Amino acid sequence: MPGMFTHEFATELYKGTATVNTGLFINGQFVDPVDRESIDVCSPQDGSVITKVSIGNAKDIDIAVKAALAAFKSSWGLKTPGYERGKLLYKLAELLEKNAGTLAAIEALDVGKPFVHASQDVQEAIDTLRYYAGWADKNHGQTIETTEAKFAYTRHEPIGVVAGIIPWNFPLTISIWKAAPALATGNAIVLKPSEVTPLSALKLAELVKEAGFPDGVFNVVTGYGATAGQAITEHPLVGKVSFTGSTIVGRKVMETAAKTNLKRVTLELGGKSPILIFDDADVEQTVKRVCGSTFYNSGQGCAAGTRILVQEGIYDKFLQVFADAAESLKQGDSFKATTQQGPLVSKTQLDRVLGYIESGKQEGARIVTGGSRAEGAGYFMRPTIFADVKPDMKIVREEIFGPVGVVIKFKTEEEAIEAANDTDYGLSSYVFTENLSRAIRVSNAIEAGNCFINQAILLCAQVPFGGYKQSGYGKEMGEYALEAYTQAKAVHVNLSLKL
Ligand code: NDP
């Protein structure tokens, strides 16, 4: 089977026998940053230094953007037909498949997540590449007849240079969510991974080169958000920024875009997603799915279900089974096949989550289980469940981004919907019930861009993903994302000057 993962291989990588080029990837080459600065990349498992990567700043971003623009004009964009772009994306998918073990190991090492979960991320990236490879020659415009003698047609043209600003929770997958539709539609791209988890984007750059994309079409500049990220959003030659991260930085990205060249912006800003569980749901099965939503990736997921609304008839039983399941999750070495949960990505994130735990306690919430970091050198946090919470508590309102869920009792469907929508966010939602009419009715009433019925989160390349309200706007994936990377031009044709 192509792309088989082996734990032995992962361990080899861990020992340092496999390598990742850690320069900036600009114009088809790995290069040193102008100011030759670097930063340590650390393992969340024990805080040890894995490697150093280059730190690019505004000067490097300028070089990368200009290289991308030159490539867009000379050898990409409208110069390379869609079917050729598609072929390159298919080739890249094949290379990801061939290097799936390496990529998963890099991601597990860098983010701290279990190798088996990192392998799923890689598969999702491969699926997304193939999906958009198929679209590359199918993103047609329309022909619109206006009068007998005149008609217009639309062209879906690329924007030019687009940028992707990537967070640290799913670095490879989110890089592909942005790069695949951008490249399929003929844009050149500059990626800025999080300084905390830059390695998989650099490996991806090696594979882009091997796939044969023209130089400059795909670039990676590692660096700090406040410098490299800010420089991207300010750059006058960048036509669009697709950003995934915190609401506070998302706001800044939009503000900067508005103040500079009015570049287009897509924002995916996380959430505080509700899970609504009705009396008729099977408690054991539901708890499995809830764990897969609340605690997956150690709770560092933008669509994690973190406000768990449970109908009164099953509330006590649910709480007990949920607590047992949380306590039984196996934490540990990312490369052990039995590990179900890794550490948080960094000391900063661990401290942030512990701050929320403290705030929950001070505001009077009850800790059902967890509530502290786990023993050991890594940034492990015990899965935590709060009960007896009030709607205005910080732990109920703010995105914690750790393995923390709050459980809330409700009586009626109306009450549950009202509580579910009592948030500034609107990224995802989950409904558990055997009653199909209720499931659809409730999902229609929820103010969120995604609703999962009787399942944990399951993202598919074919299905759009994005938020309502302050979870951002614009879609990733599916046909919808093509629109985010193209601009429609209307061409009016008069069949005869005499008419
Ligand atoms: P940030 O929003 O700071 O980071 C996301 C990305 O934006 C990173 O690549 C970051 O770079 C970059 N960035 C930071 N500042 C700027 C800027 N001024 N201009 C452009 N880009 C910038 O998230 P954090 O890493 O600080 O995490 C904080 C919180 O954000 C988490 O606790 C969580 O609540 C939320 N979050 C949500 C995510 C989601 O999927 N929606 C993902 C990650 C975080 P760098 O990391 O190098 O500074």
The model's pLDDT over 402-425, given as tens digits with 9 standing for 90+, comes to 999 999 999 999 999 999 999 999
In angstroms, what is the span from residue 152 Cα to ligand 1's centroid?
43
- Our answer on whether the CB atom of 175 is closer than 6 Å to any ligand 1 atom is no
By the 8 A CB rule, do 115 and 163 touch?
no
Token pair for residue 17?
């026998």
Strand arrangement, sheet containing 404-410 = 366-369, 384-387, 404-410, 305-311, 273-277, 430-432, 452-453
pLDDT score for 5 = 42
In angstroms, what is the span from residue 337 Cα to ligand 1's centroid?
30
In angstroms, what is the span from residue 210 Cα to ligand 1's centroid?
30
- Measured from the Cα of 256, ligand 1's closest atom is 19
By the 8 A CB rule, do 420 and 443 touch?
no
Name the band, by pLDDT with cuts 50, 70 and 90, for residue 331: very high
- Our answer on whether the CB atom of 476 is closer than 6 Å to any ligand 1 atom is no
- Our answer on whether the CB atom of 10 is closer than 6 Å to any ligand 1 atom is no
In the chain, % of residues over pLDDT 70: 96
The model's pLDDT over 204-225, given as tens digits with 9 standing for 90+, comes to 999 999 999 999 999 999 999 9
By the 8 A CB rule, do 101 and 4 touch?
yes
Distance CA 39, CA 49 (A): 10
The model's pLDDT over 84-132, given as tens digits with 9 standing for 90+, comes to 999 999 999 999 999 998 999 999 999 999 999 999 999 999 999 999 9
**Nearest CA residue ID for atom 30, ligand 1:** 246
Distance CA 397, CA 1 (A): 45
- Our answer on whether the CB atom of 402 is closer than 6 Å to any ligand 1 atom is no
Set 107, 195, 268, 399: catalytic member: 268
Alpha-carbon dihedral 310, 359, 368, 413, rounded to 10 degrees: -10
pLDDT score for 9 = 55
In angstroms, what is the span from residue 164 Cα to ligand 1's centroid?
12
The model's pLDDT over 154-204, given as tens digits with 9 standing for 90+, comes to 999 999 999 999 999 999 999 999 999 999 999 999 999 999 999 999 999
pLDDT score for 3 = 35
Q: Is the pTM of this model over 0.85?
A: yes
Q: Across all residues in the chain, what is the average pLDDT?
A: 95
pLDDT score for 402 = 98
What domains can be seen in the chain, in order of their start residue? 24-269+472-488 (3.40.605.10), 273-461 (3.40.309.10)
By the 8 A CB rule, do 425 and 399 touch?
yes
Is 268 a known active-site residue? yes
Distance CA 290, CA 376 (A): 27
